[in-house]
Amino acid sequence: MFKGSNVALITPFNNNGLDEDAYIKLIHFHMDNGTSGLVPAGTTGESPTLSHEEHQRVIDLCIKESNGKIPVIAGTGSNSTEEAISLTSHAEKAGANGALIVTPYYNKPTQEGLYQHYKAINDKCGIPILIYNIPGRSVIDMSVDTMARLFELKNIVGVKDATGDLNRVEQQLSKMGKEFIQMTGNDDNAFEFNKRGGIGAISVTANLAPKLCSDFQKLSTSKNEDELVEAKRLDDILQPVHTAMFVESNPSPVKYGAKLMNLCDDEVRLPLVKITDNTKAIVKKALESAKLI
């Protein structure tokens, strides 16, 4: 269903408004360069500072422009269950192939609260749901047992795992089996993640290196030794880019990289700010090392 290199799409802005022309250009850039799936309106897409209308618009545009050629997994999470239901319902009606729903941030629900949050969304919607487990941003960490309970529901199909704990891959594989989709949210651990049972990534770096990330993902799940060696070579090329993307808060670095590649401007919305000159130098050097500029 979902696998390979899925891009956590940035949302281009111009004078603090949505730059639709640049956004459409980005979508086609990915379709032309082997990206497996598009993930609009996630953290990298600055969903916390999108209005509801903008949130729905970037999802609508993504579905329209991709035209069924590759899957669209819409970011529809919220720390309000009712809001998450509303955003997911909209994505479903618009034709999204799935929804990426982050664990509720700030509220700090218990494991039972997490279960009931996702169950409520599951019960009101009819598209596949990926749990987005990212304790570094949401504070809470969904346990493997809670995830297993949720996997029993009709629409819960997998996880974007941004815990950084590679042992989770094997624990989740043991508990839920191979049918449970596991994709990493950490570009830097993607090679080892896939070796342990993962089948892809929802990637920040793919915004800038869609072909490299796509080729790497295809090779990294191979059983062929020569292909795994090539996957490791591509991973080594990508590692400096992965590191540069998180020198400052995402998505400020990746937006600067996109500006260097003439994909869109590096404008971000407060409370995010553009990166410092020191970070600009790091991003530029990383892109040059990967021959992206």
Residue 132 is among the residues annotated as catalytic for this protein: yes
Give the pLDDT band of residue 184 (cuts 50, 70, 90).
very high
* Predicted confidence (pLDDT) per residue in 43-60, tens digit: 999 999 999 999 999 999
Q: What share of the chain is helix, strand, coil (3-state, %, to 5)?
A: 50, 15, 35
Does any domain span residue 25? yes
CA distance 174 to 169: 9
Q: What is the pLDDT of residue 145?
A: 98
Please tell me whether residue 275 adopts helix, strand or coil conformation.
coil
Catalytic residue among 3, 160, 218, 280: 160
Supply the Cα-derived Rg of the chain in whole angstroms.
18
What confidence tier does 182 reach under pLDDT thresholds 50, 70, 90? very high
Residue 282 lies inside a defined structural domain of this protein: no
- Asked whether the beta carbons of 124 and 89 are under 8 A apart, the reply is yes
Active site annotation includes 160: yes
How many Cβ atoms sit within 10 Å of the Cβ of residue 251? 25
Contact 251, 236 (CB under 8 A): no
Does residue 285 form part of some domain?
no
Would 191 be classed as within a structural domain? yes
Average pLDDT over residues 263-272: 98
pLDDT of residue 200: 98
Q: What digits encode the pLDDT tens for the residues 125-171?
A: 999 999 999 999 999 999 999 999 999 999 999 999 999 999 999 99
Options 115, 132, 255, 280, the catalytic residue: 132
pLDDT interval class at 37 (50, 70, 90): very high
> Which has the closest alpha carbon to 120: 84, 74, 78?
84
By residue range, what is the domain housing residue 77?
Answer: 4-227
Whole-prediction pTM value? 0.97
In a domain, 246, yes or no: no
Question: Beta strands 4-8 and 37-39: pairing type?
Answer: parallel
Instruction: Quickly tell me which residue has 């329209």 as its tokens.
Output: 64
Average pLDDT over residues 270-280: 98
Residue 54 forms part of a structural domain: yes
pLDDT at 27: 98
Average pLDDT score, the chain:
98
Identify whether 112 is part of a domain: yes
Q: pLDDT band at residue 223, thresholds of 50, 70 and 90?
A: very high
The Cα 248–Cα 170 span in angstroms is 30
At residue 1, the pLDDT reads: 84
Residue 119 pLDDT grade (very low, low, confident, very high; cuts 50, 70, 90): very high
What pLDDT is attached to residue 121?
98
pLDDT at 224 over 90: yes
Q: List the helix and strand counts (H, then E) for the chain.
A: 12, 10
Domain membership flag for residue 281: no
CATH of the domain at 179: 3.20.20.70
Residue with tokens 């043991």: 174
Q: Which residue has the tokens 């269950």?
A: 81
User: For residue 110, with 0-12 CB atoms within 10 Å meaning exposed, 13-18 middle and 19 or more buried, which class applies?
Assistant: exposed
Question: Total structural domains in the chain?
Answer: 1
Before 271, cis peptide (omega within 30)? Answer: yes
Tell me the residue type at 19. D
d(C-alpha 64, C-alpha 290), whole Å: 32
